[in-house]
A and B are shown apart, each in its own frame.
Chain A
Amino acid sequence: MTYSIKLALQSLWHEKWINFLSMLTIAMGLLVVTLVVSSIYNVNLFARKLPEKFFIVAYLKEGLTEKETQHIMSSIKDRGSIARAKYISKADALKELKASLKDADYVLEGLDENPLPASIEIRMKKEAVGPEAVKSFADSLRKIEGIDDVQYGEKFLLSLHSMKTGMETIGLILTVVMISGIVFICYSTVKILFYRRKDEIETLKLLGATRGFIRTPFVIEGGVIGAVGGIISVIIAAAFYFSVFYKLSATVPVIRAVVFPTELFLSLPAVGLFLGITGSLIAMGRIRF
């Protein structure tokens, strides 16, 4: 084993340029995968938080009696997908508006009549929040006698949803392409090294070397190439994080919401190792005597 490691290290050093190039390429591939996976991760995270904040507002017609209002409330509450429904009276709405205007509430001073409609703020159950479900729910609300209009972030919900599925599809394709690419790089690197040492391997066989003895240095070599590629990608990602991202997030608030999955970064060397070993095993194939 020690001898196999020595052989692998020698070969790594001897062919350092081709190996270094492979490592860099692998690092780039892994970075793309990381970028894709963390984007998807963030969009998913965002999409998952969304239902808690998401609500539908049903504006009520003017001049409804208390009884009519209560009837509407109870018919809304009867629906299974509702988490909470809150009645906001005309007065409450005005109060809220005033509160949100703070010191600028003088703009409302000239009004002698409250122009704001009463409304019902509806929060749906988390699992029920989806573009289609929300749309059909909103449509059914519109049919209720006494409801004037229903509003919710329809466009936003739709675009978030399609962004999520779109990113997942592109991400999956990119990840598969990149991972096959990395395996292929390790494959071809080891294949080249293997062919260059063909005579040597032939001699080893004649001296009584087992398949394991012949393979081990190449597997180590492929593994090291993959793992070092992973380490390089972690270094690049960390450098990017601290130099660009970290500074930007202080000034651009949106960026602060982005989460970096640290476990994913730290697993890159292991992913590289695995892909490198896989590539080199494929490259050697079955060794025949």
Chain B
Amino acid sequence: MINFQQVSKFYDTATALRDINLSIEKGEMAFITGPSGAGKSTLMKLIYAAELPDSGRITIAEWETDKLDGATIPQLRRNIGIVFQDFRLLLNKNVYDNVALALRVRRIPEKEVKALVLDALKMVNLRHKTDSFPSTLSGGEQQRVVIARAIVGEPIIVLADEPTGNLDPDTAAGIMRIFKEINVRGTTILIATHNRELFRDTGKRVMRLDNGNMVNEERG
């Protein structure tokens, strides 16, 4: 489902990723860990084509990311639900509209949007914040809105970049339960985190990045 072959990404001043080989199967749940600046977010951006690799090849489902254009990039992204490390919530829209956006960009009829959005908000325990604006929410609540937006469209891949960074251990465990649930239903999930608690005892693959290099792979 997600395939990297000898992928490198350089920024002007830094090497973000070097010769990464990576293969994540359909329906798999996997983790990427490593210290700050290791290249975790960059790896995610390469998957949803916000960045293109400087060398190597990336295949996501049926798409090769460097062959994408204005017409196919939206198609790829509609199949990926993203929990952005920096949230990317629209501050002038309430919780409902923020989550609904993921469906509206797919031109899903408003009738269906409502039920799906309320379901997703229920899953992250934010049903009571439907009409609130992001600025009035706590960090953890904002993070859960982002998670609801990522899963509401039932994408085939969910990328979660530090999805529990602002959550207390109990809430974090609740979010992990949601990810496991949608993973059981067949969604491929890739989680970037430096929180070991998230992958401890999961038995899932954990890939460790350091300074842009893939240093080892273990089971959680």
Contact = CB atoms under 8 A, between A and B. Distances in A.
Interface of A: 2-3, 200, 202-211, 213, 287-289
Contact of A287 (B70, B76, B101): B70
Given A203-B90, A289-B49, A3 B104 contact: yes
Contacts of B79: 208
B50 interface: yes
B182 interface: no
A211 B84 CA distance: 22
Nearest to B102: A207
Given A203-B88, A206-B48, A208-B78, A289 B105 contact: no
What secondary structure prevails in chain A residues at the interface with B? helix
A177 B199 CA distance: 66
Interface residues of B, number: 27
Contacts of B102: 207-208
18 contacts: A202-B88, A203-B88, A203-B90, A204-B105, A205-B73, A206-B48, A206-B50, A206-B88, A208-B74, A208-B76, A208-B77, A208-B102, A209-B105, A210-B71, A210-B105, A211-B70, A287-B70, A289-B49
Nearest to B50: A206
Interface in B171-214: none
B77 A207 contact: yes
Contacts of A3: 104, 110
A81 to B, nearest CB: 64
Contacts of B110: 2-3
Interface string B78-98: 111010100010101000000
Contacts of B90: 200, 203
Contact of A289 (B73, B78, B82): B73
Nearest to B98: A203
B109 to A, nearest CB: 9
A2 B111 CA distance: 12
